Amino acid sequence: MEPTAHVSRTALPGVGTRYDLNTEAGAHLSVVLHQDGRRILAFHDPEDDDSCKVAAPLAPHEATALGELLTPDPIGHLHQHIEIDLVTEHIAVTTRSPYAGRTLGATRARTRTGASIVAVLRRTAAFPSPAPDFRFALGDTLVVVGTREGVDAVAELITGG
């Protein structure tokens, strides 16, 4: 189990809030979040909380970029080894469709194309993970996920094209 960091919070009346963190390596850093949105990252003397060694003001976009750099990506390591080439597309069931009024199973879409119909949007309702007996209606929008070729093949199948 990962150790958790203890961050203390101090209200700074008329200024904002200060967040302090003492690292395992013995450094003391703080972030002052001003009421107007400015942020200042500061490093302190661990022996003297009020003695600031270095301070760096951060513009909002800089604070966002720093946060993204410091936030671990739980699946980032997968991107180094696997390239996933999936697309998602919305396909309408129109009067031209040979599947209006027929079931998802009748399309055999996954078997024929390798792409999956993962949801159906109908007026104000959504039907995620529809079962093979789900019956399409005129005006439905199918949410399809797969390779570019597979999604294009489902579009051709559903639109009768």
Q: Are both 46 and 101 inside the same structural domain?
A: no
| Residue 70 belongs to a domain | yes
Quick check: is 82 in a domain? no
Instruction: Say whether pLDDT at 73 is over 80.
Output: no
Confidence of residue 84 (pLDDT cuts 50, 70, 90): low
Residue 143 belongs to what domain range?
A: 87-159
Give the span between the Cα atoms of 128 and 92, in whole angstroms: 16
Question: Does residue 2 belong to any structural domain of this protein?
Answer: no
Are 73 and 113 members of one domain? no
Whether 54 is covered by a domain: the verdict is yes
Instruction: Tell me the mean pLDDT in the region 91-113.
Output: 95
Q: Six-digit token pair at 87?
A: 């697309």
Mean pLDDT for the stretch of residues 26-42: 89
Tokens, residue 123: 């007026």
Q: Is there a domain that residue 1 lies in? A: no
In a shared domain, residues 115 and 69: no
Per-residue pLDDT, 157: 96
pTM above 0.85, yes or no: no
> Do residues 55 and 110 touch, judged by C-beta distance below 8 A?
no
Q: Does 140 score more than 90 pLDDT?
A: yes
User: Which of 77, 99, 121 finishes a domain?
Assistant: 77
Residue 112: CA atoms inside 13 Å, Cβ hemisphere, count? 15
Residue 14 has pLDDT above 80, yes or no: yes
Q: Is residue 1 scored above 60 in pLDDT?
A: no
Number of structural domains (the chain) is: 2
For residues 16 and 34, is the Cβ–Cβ distance under 8 A?
A: yes
Ramachandran bin of 43, using left for φ above 0, alpha for ψ from -120 to 50, beta for the remaining angles? beta
Beta strands 7-12 and 16-22, pairing class? antiparallel
